[in-house]
Amino acid sequence: MISLLLRSRGDSIYYKPLYKKYKELLPPKRSVKWLCFIYSLALTLHNNSSETKVIFEWSKDKLEIKTDKNLYLASEEINSMEKPAEFEIVLITS
């Protein structure tokens, strides 16, 4: 599972060859997609936000990410990420 998460960067939300190889040992594909997305999102925010306070809020089909600094590069990368389901991601700078 950890190896799959670490390889989840790039065009695909998860590394398909590794998932197929260890499918019997892994959680359902839907769970894997969400875990890989969360890991990629956290990594993107970490790499683009030096000492930034980040607050997450989820309501219906919208994820709000509130920060105390502008994260322009992170927002570009987040907007191009493959998501595990249809929902909106909004970055708010306060």
pLDDT given for residue 5 in this prediction: 76
pTM assigned to the model: 0.83
Give yes or no for a contact between 50 and 70, defined as CB atoms under 8 angstroms apart: no
* For the chain, domain boundaries: 2-93
Q: What percent of the residues of the chain are helix, what percent strand, and what percent coil, each to the nearest 5?
A: 45, 20, 35
Own/partner contacts of 43-48, CB < 8 Å, gap of 24 or more, are 43/9, 44/74, 44/77, 44/78, 44/81, 45/71, 45/74, 45/78, 47/74, 48/73, 48/74, 48/77
pLDDT given for residue 51 in this prediction: 83
Tens digits of pLDDT across the chain (94 residues): 777 777 766 556 677 888 888 889 989 989 988 988 998 899 999 988 878 899 999 999 999 999 999 988 899 999 999 899 999 999 999 8
- The terminus-to-terminus CA distance of the chain in angstroms comes to 36
